[in-house]
């Protein structure tokens, strides 16, 4: 079993990586894989449960869990993957292609068969996907859209009368609030685990936000639901931080507010468009680091490298390697994720005003915003 990896930019997590900790996408695979399912709808019982928790009594979440299971699915995706085999390539003059199956979870988001999951569970648009519903029906699924930037994908099955999970407002989550993770870890379907919100805001290097939870999440939980004690869907479980690749108390979920926006765009357009100024390699730099490297006295985002084809380069008249980006459209820049988020949210075809420090001097450029293109 192998697990996809990613890197978080939070300082605490970077320190953890130095101690040998890895971040893994929690898709379980036969040849590789993924998991979770979901949660339930708000009721008077849910409100009573929450009150009990506030009084220091563990809440009874059995009703919430039962309804959450009814809004969750298991997903199997088989894709044809190119495998590097020099001997095979020498003998036959072509790459070796083998099937790779990913097992994960998904969340029912409409009565007529729309299902939200992780893009790394789906693998690619040409994968053969099967969805197992709560009543054990197994149906083929089509891919409505995939967004690798946020690791989300929207599927559709031919079914009616399903029980979607109600959306919650992830911006209102509080640290130590009770949450349930529902999914298919290690192929144990309809598994429910309980924990709390450990942090409401973690970030990766591209500016994506995550909810941190200590609810047990393992390989196979990818794409499953994170649900509050009120039965509201507040996150899509996507990865863990662990020395072993299994549960170690730190799981990450995509906030529901972000997931819902991406889902709506996938449903209406089949893809999510984002702004870009090129594939620059960036690094957050502090004022002290800038001084130590003779780059001036102001911190921001250091441009480690870039391509001449990047729109920010402007044929050598724009941003250059070793520049420190300190302002984007009047917003002061302090870290890489913040800058990446602002660029992504910029209107395609617009012009961004970017201020940099170069050799200790301030310079300002008008940079065209193009559409982000993701590798296939």
Evaluated on CA atoms 257, 235, 135, 113, the torsion sign reads: positive
Helix %, strand %, coil % for the chain, to 5? 20, 40, 40
Residue 144 in contact with residue 270, Cβ under 8 Å?
A: yes
135 is catalytic: no
Q: Which of 72, 77, 120, 276 is catalytic?
A: 120
Q: Identify the three-state secondary structure at position 174.
A: coil
Rounded CA gap, 300 and 49, in Å?
45
Q: Which of 34, 77, 114, 222 is catalytic?
A: 222
- The 3 state secondary structure assigned to 141-160 is EEEEEEECCCCEEEEEECCC
3: CB partners within 8 A, 6+ apart = 24, 25, 26, 27, 28, 29, 32, 219, 245
Which two tokens mark 353? 């005003």
Q: Identify the three-state secondary structure at position 137.
A: coil
135: CB partners within 8 A, 6+ apart = none
151 is catalytic: yes
Rounded CA gap, 240 and 222, in Å?
10
Q: Which of 9, 32, 114, 151 is catalytic?
A: 151
Q: Which residue has the tokens 């790779």?
A: 100
By annotation, the residues acting in catalysis are: 120, 151, 222
């Amino acid at each position: 079993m192998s697990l996809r990896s990613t890197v978080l930019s939070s300082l605490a997590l970077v320190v953890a990586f130095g101690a040998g900790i890895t971040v893994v996408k929690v898709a379980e695979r036969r040849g590789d894989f993924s998991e979770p399912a979901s949660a339930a709808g708000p009721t008077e019982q849910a409100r009573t449960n929450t009150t009990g928790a506030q009084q220091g009594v563990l809440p009874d979440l059995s009703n919430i869990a039962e309804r959450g299971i009814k809004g969750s699915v298991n997903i199997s995706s088989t894709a044809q993957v190119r495998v590097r085999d020099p001997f095979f390539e020498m003998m036959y003059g072509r790459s070796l292609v083998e099937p790779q199956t990913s097992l994960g979870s998904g969340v029912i988001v409409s009565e007529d068969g729309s299902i939200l999951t992780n893009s790394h569970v789906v693998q690619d648009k040409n994968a053969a996907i099967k969805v197992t519903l709560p009543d054990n029906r197994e149906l083929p699924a089509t891919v409505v859209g995939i967004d690798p930037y946020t690791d989300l994908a929207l599927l559709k099955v031919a079914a009616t009368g399903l029980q979607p999970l109600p959306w919650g407002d992830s911006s209102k989550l509080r640290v130590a609030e009770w949450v349930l993770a529902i999914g298919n870890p290690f192929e144990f379907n309809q598994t429910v685990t309980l924990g709390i919100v450990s942090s409401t805001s973690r970030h990766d290097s591209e500016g994506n936000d995550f909810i941190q939870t200590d609810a047990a999440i393992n390989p196979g939980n990818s794409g499953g639901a994170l649900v509050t004690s009120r039965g509201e869907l507040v996150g899509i479980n996507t990865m863990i931080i662990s020395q072993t690749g299994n549960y170690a108390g730190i799981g990450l979920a995509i906030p529901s507010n972000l997931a819902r926006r991406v889902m709506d765009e996938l449903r209406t357009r089949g893809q999510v468009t984002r702004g870009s100024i090129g594939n620059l390699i960036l690094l957050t730099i502090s004022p002290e680091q800038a001084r130590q490297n003779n780059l001036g006295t102001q911190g921001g985002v250091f441009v480690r490298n870039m391509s001449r084809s990047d729109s920010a380069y402007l044929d050598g008249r724009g941003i250059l390697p070793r520049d420190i980006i300190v302002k984007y459209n009047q917003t002061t820049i302090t870290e890489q994720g913040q800058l990446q988020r602002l660029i992504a949210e910029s209107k395609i075809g617009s012009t961004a005003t970017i201020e940099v420090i170069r050799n200790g001097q301030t310079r300002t450029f008008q940079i065209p915003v193009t559409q982000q293109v993701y590798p296939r």
